[in-house]
Amino acid sequence: MTSNELRGDERKALELLPWFVNGTLEGEERELVSRQVLTSLTCRKELERLRRLHQLIRRDDAEAAATGRAYERLMARIDASEASPRSRVRHAGRQLPWTPFALAASLAAAVSVPLWWVAIVPSTSPRTYETLTRAQPADPGAAGLRVVFAPGVTESERLQLLASLGLTIAEPPMDDGVVTLLFTDGTDRAAIVAALRKDPRISLVTSPPVSDGP
């Protein structure tokens, strides 16, 4: 082997050293670098430096910036995308084993949700636009809660949350997203309000002001 070839091998080894250090070099390239490290002082010095750099970079492990909230936002986005017509078109060609079940569930939801709305919303009820702090009904016992769900919370999540707290929908969402809820008799209202305030699926909760009357 000539001195030129040796220098060529040394140059090649120096070039490949970073991947020798991270352990991804294989076969002939790995052997070439191993040989050069034994025979070349330049290679050995550079190898030591790169090893130290490797150690430092691996330890420089910044705290993850993302939070649990970030994951919730992502899932909300995914829910929204899965529900969008564009997404349905894009996934239409997929042959997945759960597709028939998903279709059946979608059909059931498509039929049941309108029926559910019809059932809870009297067709004669006037659609009013009020503020969150509007006056409460005269009977405090009948007073409900007003909440705004966080963006991206799906219908099924809403229903599940309300059912778990024994709440029913008194008025459907208004244009500003406010939903009026009713307590079930005998429930601990303060506890329910506290639970709703802590729940990330709820953006805003207002409890009814207790009025002593005029």
User: Footprint of other proteins on this chain (CB under 8 A)?
Assistant: 15-16, 18-19, 21-25, 45-46, 48-50, 52-67, 70-71, 73-75, 77-78, 81, 94, 96-98
Closest distance of CB 57 from other proteins, Å: 4
Name which of 44 and 134 has its Cβ closer to other proteins: 44
Using DSSP bridges, classify how beta strands 178-183 and 167-171 pair: parallel, antiparallel or unpaired: antiparallel
Measure the CA–CA gap between 175 and 117, rounded to whole angstroms: 16
Name which of 11 and 197 has its Cβ closer to other proteins: 11
Closest distance of CB 202 from other proteins, Å: 21
Name which of 23 and 213 has its Cβ closer to other proteins: 23
* φ and ψ at residue 180, rounded to 5 degrees: -100, 130
Q: Which residue has the tokens 């997945």?
A: 96
- Identify residue 29 by its one-letter amino acid code: E
* φ and ψ at residue 41, rounded to 5 degrees: -65, -40
Cβ atoms of residues 42 and 9 within 8 Å: no
Closest distance of CB 9 from other proteins, Å: 15
Closest distance of CB 82 from other proteins, Å: 8
